[in-house]
């Protein structure tokens, strides 16, 4: 970086790229750069309120001006959830410009419905891949507990050959149930809209995450856990924004206390997806649900994109450390955490001076670090959570799962009441000895220096 260039400060907000018509050529270049970040032939439509069929048809008709036959546009909904979100599917419909997302072309004519649009962004489970892991089913827990905590795990699924199915959440179908997915009484597959929530991922990501959560509860004398498996990611660990939205509404309707979100995506254009932001930061808090999410891992391809955008917009060359700072390189939804909402963002730490060099950090958006089992000069790792295994794996996914388990195992059931705040949860863990505070880390930052370790 040249001496006269001022680098982004660690307390700065990420660089949001705001579209202006005069910069159209520049954004076309960015669109090509980000072409693999969303599902083609789909666009999410957000209404101001739950739309009527007439209003839906009005929006469909508005696409005619851009060459789309309204009769060829198919609609996907979250089943009976009564929410203002629909997925429109049609060949090349993703090329339509709107207030959110990255597209080329001209957008549909505005209507009186108040709708806006987003691309159906991919999100991924951050995981430093390790091949060749062999698992065996874990024994269940027989000791009676006073309180059952329901944890919705939005991930690649739940393998009942690896994890005792006694830990699975079992709901009921009664006339008093919410209409949202009313007839579903166990987990659900949001990848292909079926009841098959089996973990088919090559690295068993969702099952590992679930077992980390369960293991923390095994040490609790107060609470036990029920895992609500919501398969939002396919065998390659890839999910999409629409499936995530539906799964969150499912978790709300079915009474989850905690949502574990060991996934995310880097985002560059404008303040991201207002509906998802409100859903995670306000609706969940209003319902008394804690949302624990991953700070994110280093993804070389995304670092290249961030470097090019910062160089083009500001003439800056980001350092390796700056690329891991959430105040510079935004990983969503980790960036949504504040002291006043119920979002807890987790990363991995050595508990003293730094966080994992392969994971993201921030003194503004990362709330807590989970103490690694093994620390080397270039990695921080956890022991695989299955009994009899000594293999080590790393990723903020697993720090997130461990953090979810610690919260669920050691916070009383009355924690999950409307208005719950992440700072109150962490203060409780500190007061009970399940988390520690340190001065601000010297090299990398975690909000208020809080860190915890497996029980």
pLDDT tens digits along 405-423: 999 999 999 999 999 999 9
Distance CA 70, CA 297 (A): 41
Q: Over pLDDT 90: what percentage of the chain?
A: 60
* DSSP code per residue over 214-258: HHHHHT-SSEEEEEEEEE-B-TTSEEEHHHHHHHHHHHHHTT-SE
Statement: residue 103 has pLDDT above 50: no
Distance CA 276, CA 116 (A): 13
User: For residue 106, what pLDDT is reported?
Assistant: 41
- Which domains does the chain show, CATH number per domain? 37-121 (3.30.70), 147-452 (3.40.50.200)
Q: How confident is the prediction for the chain on average, in pLDDT?
A: 85
Confidence of residue 140 (pLDDT cuts 50, 70, 90): low
Closest CA to 244 of 232, 234, 253, 256: 232
Statement: residue 136 has pLDDT above 80: no
In 207-361, beta strands by DSSP E: 223-231, 238-240, 258-261, 265-266, 290-294, 331-332, 343-349
* DSSP code per residue over 43-81: EEEE-SSPPPHHHHHHHHHHGGGGT--GGG-EEE--TT-
pLDDT digits (tens, 9 = 90+) for 170-200: 987 665 667 899 889 999 999 999 999 999 9
Strand 116-124 to 85-89 pairing: unpaired
Statement: residue 321 has pLDDT above 70: yes
Q: What does the DSSP 8-state code read for residue 279?
A: I
Closest CA to 262 of 379, 165, 393: 393
Statement: residue 12 has pLDDT above 80: no
User: For residue 35, what pLDDT is reported?
Assistant: 76
Mean pLDDT, to the nearest integer, of 366-383?
A: 94
User: For residue 134, what pLDDT is reported?
Assistant: 58
Confidence of residue 438 (pLDDT cuts 50, 70, 90): confident
The strand pairing partners of 382, in sequence order, are 393
Give, in degrees to the nearest 5, the angle at Cα 391 between 387 and 397.
Answer: 90
* Cα end-to-end distance, the chain, whole Å: 44
User: For residue 100, what pLDDT is reported?
Assistant: 37
Statement: residue 156 has pLDDT above 90: yes
| Beta carbons within 8 Å of 374's beta carbon, 6+ residues apart | 380, 381, 382, 383, 392
Mean pLDDT, to the nearest integer, of 295-319?
A: 89
């Amino acid at each position: 970086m040249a001496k006269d260039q001022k680098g982004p400060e660690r307390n700065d907000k990420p660089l949001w790229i705001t579209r202006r018509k005069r910069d159209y050529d520049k954004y076309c270049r960015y669109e090509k750069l980000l072409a693999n970040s969303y599902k083609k032939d789909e666009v999410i439509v957000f209404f101001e309120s739950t739309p009527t069929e007439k209003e839906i048809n009005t929006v469909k008709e508005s696409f005619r001006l851009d060459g789309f036959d309204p009769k060829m546009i198919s609609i996907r909904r979250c089943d009976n959830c009564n929410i203002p979100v629909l997925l429109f599917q049609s060949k090349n419909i993703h090329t339509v410009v709107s207030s959110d997302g990255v597209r080329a072309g001209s957008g549909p004519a505005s209507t009186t419905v108040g709708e806006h649009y987003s691309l159906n962004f991919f999100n991924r489970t951050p995981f430093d891949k390790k091949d060749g892991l062999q698992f065996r089913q874990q024994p269940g827990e027989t000791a009676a507990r006073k309180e059952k905590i329901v944890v919705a795990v939005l991930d690649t699924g739940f393998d009942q050959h690896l994890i005792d199915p006694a830990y699975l959440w079992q709901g009921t179908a009664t006339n008093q149930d919410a209409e949202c997915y009313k007839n579903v009484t166990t987990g659900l597959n949001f990848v292909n809209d079926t009841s098959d929530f089996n973990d088919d991922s090559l690295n068993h990501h969702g099952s590992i995450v679930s077992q980390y959560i369960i293991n923390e509860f095994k040490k609790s004398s107060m609470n036990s856990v029920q895992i609500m498996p919501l398969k939002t990611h396919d065998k390659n660990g890839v999910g999409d924004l629409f499936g995530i939205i539906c799964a969150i509404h499912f978790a709300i309707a079915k009474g989850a206390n905690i949502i574990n979100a060991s996934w995310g995506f880097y985002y560059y254009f404008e303040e991201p997806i207002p509906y998802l932001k409100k859903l995670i930061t306000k609706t969940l808090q209003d319902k008394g649900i804690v949302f624990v999410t991953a700070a994110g891992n280093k993804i070389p391809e995304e670092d290249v994109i961030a470097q090019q955008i910062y160089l083009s917009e500001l003439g800056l060359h980001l350092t390796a450390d700056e690329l891991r700072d959430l105040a510079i390189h935004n990983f969503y939804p980790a960036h949504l955490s504040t002291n006043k909402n119920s979002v807890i963002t987790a990363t991995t730490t050595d508990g003293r001076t730094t966080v994992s060099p392969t994971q993201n950090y921030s003194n503004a958006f990362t709330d807590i670090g989970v103490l690694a089992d093994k620390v080397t000069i270039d990695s921080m790792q956890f022991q695989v959570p299955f009994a009899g295994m000594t293999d080590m794996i790393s990723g903020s996914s697993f720090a997130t799962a461990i953090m979810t388990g610690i919260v669920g195992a050691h916070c009383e059931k009355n924690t999950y009441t409307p208005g719950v705040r992440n700072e109150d949860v962490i203060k409780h863990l500190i007061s009970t000895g399940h988390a520690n505070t340190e001065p601000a880390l010297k090299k990398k930052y975690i909000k208020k220096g809080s860190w915890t370790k497996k029980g």
